[in-house]
């Protein structure tokens, strides 16, 4: 009977990643440490069985450096000097001081939840769509029998495509089909040329109009701008075609292996810091054929819930069991690992033959970057249970290779982690290299195994010589082989462009996903009706962008996805931002309830919660309120919503004046509401006017969905503050309320103050007498 471990036997968490004992820097030889367990050990037997003799000489693995620490006795400055030495390989250079301190939390962007009102309207939208769609199907099948023949039972046979299966395609996708598969021509570089088309039958068919439209391209994965028809890459590709033609006209296993195939495999291995690699002519097939070569029955794949379909497809083909963990959630993964290791295989409870955790480096729909440091910690944590229980790490770097890291070498480079901690590195050439195909890099023994067992490698057409040359040239530029700093500049430009673009969109109030530095920037649209509206409106403004909805995303989080390129200029980005802002206003998709973007000190000691503020102003209170706002840094407190009584013209002007003086644009909003009671108004009319004020206040709260409300006494802030309390009672959101009693109130509270006293979070008074008689009141000085 195989011995089982219980979860209690499993190791306690290891918190310190610095414990990884693999430090070596140039000039200091790495200690020759016997690998206790590795993927190569795992496949050695298989390798013998297939008796594959490698054509590759054994290559010494470069001494990869971990950042400075106590073991190499270098100060940070000495370490920097050391890694700057020109003789260092890219793999050695990749570990820098900056990278040494990188943790996922440093650039993680919290995913912002949709405002309640947006969620409700989105679900309502789908409800109406489904209801009417089914009604039309039922009626159509009765009255339009011919048109609906393919959905009805056909002479006793079940319909090939049931109305349920095709419902989404017919009732949703068909209406907005013009936003996808747009035909283009020319080079998909910084700009893209779109062939205009029209449909006269509600998107059933399209006809090209013959007109061409040039748009700034945010839809191609041209991260480093290598998709070009001129320059070094194009020239070398041209030369290569003259020498090798366009195809090797055979699979690798037969006569298809050219010298340039092998050269590229060595180059890729060197680039990513692994012993060896294989290249495959299609990125999708790289995953879907490699995974079945590595795992099968009795093995377990643990997959991130948002992994690409090529991974899912590969796992299904392999016959291995699969368990899914929450996206990039290391706590969930750890719990899952404990469970699967302690329980073993279903029914027999035998230990799993292999456990492989598969993640992506950069998630193409979310823009999130894998939490690699925590994954490596987990690997170490579970390491003591060798032979059957350690898990292997497979990282798909389709989007991160070239695009992340100081040297463009992917997530390991980005974090400053040695690639040896990742067992299988997969990547594609379709994104950063402006080419096609994919690679698998790993220990030599593993790669030899794949050469014999990977179907795409053995049976599929090999990578075309011109594609090989494009990859080789662009990779060479990234590595600085051309003797210029073009590659480094592209990498830096991409990082700068990505940060600028996402920061500006966030600042404008959009909900934007993606971790800091990600060139994939999804902007949330939520409502399905806005998918097509956004795409069409952006195209009208000559911006090409991909929009994504269900089933590629969860049903409520439809989005537009911007792919940033180093080829984009600041003007391109600014034009796009301006257009997105315009479309955002038009479609009302600036949902963000902004949190503070940077740590700050409380500027006026009146409160430091949230940033999307409602600032009820009215008449004599305006001067105080403006005084108060001036003491808040507008960079952190935005967007600002001024709520003003509709009879008060002066306050609105003053608010605009102040906003202009900040020099910041599009950060504020002025909303007017009727007063619950005008000064001198008869009390008999108050119920009606109060109801009107309440209705307008509901709109203000729902549209601005603030984090913080600051008010200083006008009656109009009563309904606002009361309504803002409801989400707190319902447990949806805590909107903080700060109330400042008027300067005119020395010994007693105003009516508004009395009404709001129980509800507000901070109650500030401008006379010490008041703070003496009220528990909650705080005296912090006077405002004016």
Cβ-proximal residues to 418 (8 Å cutoff; 6+ apart), any chain:
22, 64, 65, 66, 95, 273, 412
Candidates 371, 266, 360, 341; CA nearest to 56 is 266
Helix, strand, or coil (residue 595) = coil
* Residues recorded for the chain: 784
- Residue 572 as a binder of ligand PLP (CB under 6 A): the answer is no
Least Å from the CB of residue 284 to ligand PLP: 4
> Mask 156-195, x = binds ligand PLP (CB under 6 A)?
----------------------------------------
- The two three-digit tokens of residue 634, written as one number: 């507008």
CB closer to ligand PLP out of 442 and 715: 442
CB 715, CB 752: distance < 8 Å: yes
By CB under 6 A, which span of 107-115, 124-132, 234-242, 393-401 interacts with ligand PLP? 393-401
Selected binder of ligand PLP within 115, 273, 283, 344 (CB under 6 A): 283
Candidates 103, 104, 112; CA nearest to 595 is 112
Least Å from the CB of residue 400 to ligand PLP: 9
By CB under 6 A, which span of 249-257, 282-290, 527-535, 693-701 interacts with ligand PLP? 282-290
Host H or E run for residue 27:
none
CB 753, CB 741: distance < 8 Å: yes
Separation of alpha carbons 647 and 661, rounded Å: 24
- Residue 284 as a binder of ligand PLP (CB under 6 A): the answer is yes
CB 61, CB 240: distance < 8 Å: no
CB closer to ligand PLP out of 357 and 777: 357
Residues 309-338 that bind ligand PLP (CB under 6 A): 310
**Beta-bridge mates of residue 279:** 439
Least Å from the CB of residue 174 to ligand PLP: 25
By CB under 6 A, which span of 83-91, 92-100, 280-288, 376-384 interacts with ligand PLP? 280-288
- Count the Cβ atoms, other than its own, within 10 Å of residue 696: 18
Residues 451-490 that bind ligand PLP (CB under 6 A): none
CB closer to ligand PLP out of 40 and 368: 368
CB closer to ligand PLP out of 364 and 469: 364
By CB under 6 A, which span of 19-27, 78-86, 395-403, 522-530 interacts with ligand PLP? 395-403
Least Å from the CB of residue 285 to ligand PLP: 7
**Crossing angle for the helix pair 621-630 and 649-662, to the nearest 10 degrees:** 10
Helix, strand, or coil (residue 768) = helix
CA angle 507, 100, 562 (to 5 degrees): 30
Cβ-proximal residues to 12 (8 Å cutoff; 6+ apart), any chain:
none
By CB under 6 A, which span of 270-278, 392-400, 485-493, 645-653 interacts with ligand PLP? 392-400
Sheet strand arrangement including 191-198: 184-185, 191-198, 207-217, 543-544
Q: Residue 140 phi/psi, 5° resolution?
A: -60, -40
Chain CA centroid to CA 178, Å: 25
Residue with tokens 């310190």: 16
Chain CA centroid to CA 377, Å: 23
Least Å from the CB of residue 238 to ligand PLP: 23
Query: Residue 465 to residues 243, 265, 456, 470, 547: CA-CA distances in angstroms?
Result: 9, 13, 17, 9, 34
- The two three-digit tokens of residue 74, written as one number: 């270098």
Q: Provide the H-helix boundaries in 588-617.
A: none
Residue nearest to ligand PLP (CB): 283
- Residue 280 as a binder of ligand PLP (CB under 6 A): the answer is no
Least Å from the CB of residue 311 to ligand PLP: 7
Selected binder of ligand PLP within 82, 94, 182, 308 (CB under 6 A): 308
CB 305, CB 332: distance < 8 Å: no
Least Å from the CB of residue 312 to ligand PLP: 10
Residues 112-131 that bind ligand PLP (CB under 6 A): none
> Any idea what DSSP says for residue 550?
T
Least Å from the CB of residue 398 to ligand PLP: 3
By CB under 6 A, which span of 114-122, 179-187, 277-285, 758-766 interacts with ligand PLP? 277-285
DSSP 316-332: HHHT-EEEEE-TT-HHH
Helix, strand, or coil (residue 574) = helix
CB closer to ligand PLP out of 426 and 723: 426
By CB under 6 A, which span of 283-291, 417-425, 566-574, 587-595 interacts with ligand PLP? 283-291
CA angle 564, 479, 522 (to 5 degrees): 15
First vs last Cα of the chain: how many Å apart? 82
Integer Rg of the chain from CA: 31
CA angle 315, 317, 318 (to 5 degrees): 65
Candidates 24, 18, 100; CA nearest to 61 is 24
By CB under 6 A, which span of 205-213, 391-399, 641-649, 753-761 interacts with ligand PLP? 391-399
Q: What is the dihedral of CA 642, 648, 651, 653, to 10 degrees?
A: 100
- Residue 430 as a binder of ligand PLP (CB under 6 A): the answer is yes
CB 541, CB 527: distance < 8 Å: no
Selected binder of ligand PLP within 74, 272, 398, 709 (CB under 6 A): 398
By CB under 6 A, which span of 174-182, 394-402, 483-491, 754-762 interacts with ligand PLP? 394-402
Least Å from the CB of residue 287 to ligand PLP: 5
**Beta-bridge mates of residue 641:** 614, 669
CB closer to ligand PLP out of 309 and 492: 309
CB closer to ligand PLP out of 283 and 419: 283
Least Å from the CB of residue 437 to ligand PLP: 7
Give the binding-site size for ligand PLP (rule: CB under 6 A). Answer: 14
Selected binder of ligand PLP within 118, 172, 227, 282 (CB under 6 A): 282
Separation of alpha carbons 39 and 147, rounded Å: 57
CB closer to ligand PLP out of 181 and 682: 181
- Residue 304 as a binder of ligand PLP (CB under 6 A): the answer is no
Least Å from the CB of residue 196 to ligand PLP: 26
Least Å from the CB of residue 365 to ligand PLP: 9
E-strand spans in 364-445?
391-396, 424-428, 438-442
CB closer to ligand PLP out of 359 and 629: 359
Least Å from the CB of residue 452 to ligand PLP: 23
> Any idea what DSSP says for residue 592?
-
> Mask 341-380, x = binds ligand PLP (CB under 6 A)?
-------------------x---x----------------
CB closer to ligand PLP out of 283 and 674: 283
CB closer to ligand PLP out of 364 and 557: 364
CB closer to ligand PLP out of 291 and 495: 291
CB closer to ligand PLP out of 399 and 507: 399
Q: Enumerate binding residues for ligand PLP (CB under 6 A).
A: 282-284, 287, 308, 310, 360, 364, 396, 398-399, 428, 430, 438
């Amino acid at each position: 009977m195989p011995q089982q471990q219980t979860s209690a036997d499993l190791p306690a968490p290891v918190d310190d990643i610095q414990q990884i004992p693999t430090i070596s820097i140039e000039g200091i030889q790495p200690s020759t440490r016997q690998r206790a367990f590795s993927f190569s050990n795992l496949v050695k037997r298989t390798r013998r069985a297939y008796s594959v003799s490698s054509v590759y000489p054994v290559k010494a693995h470069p001494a990869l450096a971990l950042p400075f620490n106590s073991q190499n006795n270098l100060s940070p400055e000495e370490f920097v000097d050391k890694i700057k030495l020109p003789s260092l390989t890219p793999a050695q250079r990749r570990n820098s001081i900056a990278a040494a301190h990188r943790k996922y939390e440093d650039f993680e962007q919290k995913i912002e939840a949709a405002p309640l009102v947006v969620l409700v309207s989105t679900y309502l939208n789908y409800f109406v769509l489904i209801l009417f769609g089914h009604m039309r199907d039922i009626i159509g099948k009765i009255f339009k029998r011919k048109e609906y023949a393919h959905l009805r039972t056909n002479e006793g046979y079940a319909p090939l495509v049931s109305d349920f299966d095709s419902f989404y395609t017919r009732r949703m996708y068909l209406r907005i089909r013009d936003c996808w598969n747009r035909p283009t021509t020319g080079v998909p570089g910084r700009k893209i040329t779109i062939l205009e088309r029209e449909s006269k039958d509600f998107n059933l068919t399209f006809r090209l109009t013959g007109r061409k439209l040039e748009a700034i391209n945010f839809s191609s994965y041209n991260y480093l701008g290598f998709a070009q028809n001129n320059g070094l890459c194009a020239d070398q590709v041209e030369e290569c075609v003259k020498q090798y033609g366009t195809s090797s006209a055979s699979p690798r296993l037969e006569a298809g292996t050219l010298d340039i195939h092998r050269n590229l495999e060595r180059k890729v291995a060197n680039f990513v810091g692994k012993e060896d690699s294989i290249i495959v002519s299609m990125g999708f097939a790289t995953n879907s054929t490699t995974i079945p070569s590595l795992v099968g029955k009795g093995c377990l794949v643990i997959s991130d819930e948002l992994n690409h379909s090529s991974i899912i497809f590969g796992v299904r083909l392999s016959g291995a069991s699969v368990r899914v963990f929450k996206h990039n959630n290391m706590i969930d993964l750890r719990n899952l690992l404990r469970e699967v290791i302690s329980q073993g295989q279903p029914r027999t409870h035998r230990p799993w033959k292999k456990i492989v955790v598969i993640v992506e480096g950069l998630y193409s729909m979310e823009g999130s970057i894998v939490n690699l440091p925590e994954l490596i910690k987990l690997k170490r944590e579970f390491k003591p249970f060798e032979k059957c229980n350690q898990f292997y790490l497979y990282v798909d770097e389709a989007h991160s290779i070239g695009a992340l890291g100081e040297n463009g070498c992917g997530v390991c480079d980005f974090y400053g982690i040695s690639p040896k901690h990742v067992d299988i590195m997969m990547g594609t050439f379709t994104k950063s290299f402006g080419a096609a195909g994919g690679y698998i890099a790993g220990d030599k023994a593993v790669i030899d195994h794949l050469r014999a067992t990977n179907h795409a490698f053995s049976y599929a057409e090999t990578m075309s010589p011109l594609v090989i040359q494009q990859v080789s040239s662009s990779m060479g530029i990234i590595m600085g082989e051309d003797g210029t700093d073009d590659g480094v500049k592209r990498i830096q430009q991409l990082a700068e462009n990505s940060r600028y673009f996402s920061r500006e969109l966030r600042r404008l109030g959009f909900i934007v996903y993606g971790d800091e530095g990600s060139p994939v920037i999804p902007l949330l649209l939520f409502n399905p009706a806005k998918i097509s509206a956004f795409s069409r409106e952006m195209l009208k403004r000559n911006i090409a962008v991909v929009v994504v909805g269900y089933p590629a995303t969860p049903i409520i989080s439809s989005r537009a996805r911007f792919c940033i390129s180093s080829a984009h200029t600041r003007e391109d980005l600014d034009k796009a931002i301006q257009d997105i802002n315009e479309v955002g206003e038009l479609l009302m998709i600036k949902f963000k309830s902004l949190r503070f973007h940077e740590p700050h000190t409380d500027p006026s000691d009146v409160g430091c919660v949230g940033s999307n503020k409602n600032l009820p102003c009215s008449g004599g209170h305006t001067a105080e309120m403006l005084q108060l706002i001036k003491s808040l840094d507008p960079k952190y407190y935005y967007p600002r919503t001024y709520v003003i009584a509709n009879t008060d013209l002066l306050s609105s002007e003053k608010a605009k004046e102040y906003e202009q003086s900040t020099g910041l644009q599009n950060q504020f909003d002025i909303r007017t509401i009727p007063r619950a009671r005008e000064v001198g108004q008869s009390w008999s009319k108050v119920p009606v006017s109060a109801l009107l004020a309440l209705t307008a206040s509901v709109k203000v709260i729902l549209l601005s969905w603030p984090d913080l409300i600051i008010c200083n006494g006008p009656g109009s802030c009563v309904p606002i503050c009361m309504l803002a309390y409801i989400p707190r009672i319902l447990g949806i959101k805590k909107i903080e309320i700060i109330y400042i009693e008027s300067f005119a109130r020395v010994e007693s509270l105003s009516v508004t103050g009395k009404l709001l006293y129980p509800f507000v979070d901070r109650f500030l008074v401008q006379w010490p007498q008041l703070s003496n008689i009220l528990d909650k009141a705080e005296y912090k000085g006077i405002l004016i």
